[in-house]
Every structure is written in C-alpha cells, then in structure tokens.
C-alpha cells in the first residue's frame, strides 16, 4: 500500500549554498502540524542539484513528503506568480537572510511579496528566546 502525497504544500525558498538547520527544522515542523508536504524551491545558482537532493533525503528521513525544484533564473516575482497559480500551496517560508529576497539588514523586502495569495512565514536567525 502506498501513502498518498499530501495535497497541501509548504514552499520553502532557499537561496544560499547551505540551508540553515533552523529554517529546515521550522519548515518540517510546520508541515507536520499542517499535514502538508514540503516543496523546496532553490533560487539562484548557489544551490547545486546535489545539495537540493541531499536536503530532500534529509527531510524524507523525518517521514515527510518532500521534493525540490531548482529555479536558478527566477526572482521573487516569478516565485509569487508560480505559488499563486497553485491551489495546493498553503504557505511560503524563507529565511530572513535569504539572498535576493531580503535586504542587507536581514529584513524581507516586502514589495516583491505583496501579491502573494498565501501567508509568508519568515524564519529569523535565532529563536525568540535568544532575542530577548
């Protein structure tokens, strides 16, 4: 018997060469709570196919449905259009320090994300406890 892939998806946007463990853990936890699958979208050329595949394997060990797609020539607008065209996307997650989607100060550039139809979840560098 095979298990059906979850209909709802969390899109995790990665744009650096090493995905943060904190961001990956937060994405997996959200998927688990929502009963959703994880779809990793690699923006830019910093993410190799091997790194995306290794990340998918790491997530699969936790029992979550996961797949990855590389979009090296996409920007925020392309990603927003793609997410908005897919009814299964429940939320989009990204790191506050994601290159190409955040400012130098680590703040998300909101202008590019305004048209996103689903919630945008931004994961900070450290936990709230460490910030206080």
In the chain, where are the structural domains located? 9-131
Q: What is the mean pLDDT of residues 102-114?
A: 63
Can you give the pLDDT at residue 34?
94
Q: Which CATH number fits domain 9-131: 3.40.50.720, 3.40.50.620, 3.90.1580.10, 3.30.1460.30?
A: 3.40.50.620
pLDDT band at 2 (very low <50, low <70, confident <90, very high): very low
- In the predicted structure, residue 100 carries a pLDDT above the cut 70: no
Neighbours of 105 (CB within 10 A): 7
Kindly tell me if the per-residue pLDDT of 102 is higher than 70: no
Give the residue-averaged pLDDT of 54-66.
91
> How is residue 118 written in tokens?
């689903």
Lowest mean pLDDT among 10-14, 35-39, 104-108, 115-119: 104-108
Q: How far apart are CA 83 and CA 90, in angstroms?
A: 9
Residues with Cβ within 8 Å of 67's Cβ and at least 6 positions away in sequence, in order, are 37, 38, 39, 40, 56
Distance, in Å, from the CA atom of 59 to the CA atom of 65, rounded to the nearest integer, reads 8
Residue-wise pLDDT for 7-57, tens only, equals: 899 999 988 767 778 889 999 999 999 999 999 999 877 788 888 899 999
């Amino acid at each position: 018997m095979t298990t059906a892939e979850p209909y709802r998806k969390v899109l995790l946007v990665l744009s650096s060469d090493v995905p943060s463990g904190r961001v990956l853990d937060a994405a997996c936890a959200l998927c688990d709570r929502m009963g959703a699958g994880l779809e990793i979208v690699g923006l830019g050329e910093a993410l190799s196919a091997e790194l995306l595949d290794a990340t998918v394997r790491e997530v699969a060990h936790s029992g979550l449905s996961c797949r990855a797609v590389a979009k090296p020539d996409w920007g925020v607008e392309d990603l927003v259009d793609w997410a908005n065209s897919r009814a299964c996307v429940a939320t989009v997650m990204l790191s506050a320090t994601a290159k190409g989607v955040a400012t130098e100060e680590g703040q998300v550039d909101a202008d590019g994300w305004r048209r996103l139809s689903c919630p945008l979840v931004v994961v900070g560098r450290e936990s709230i406890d460490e910030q206080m």
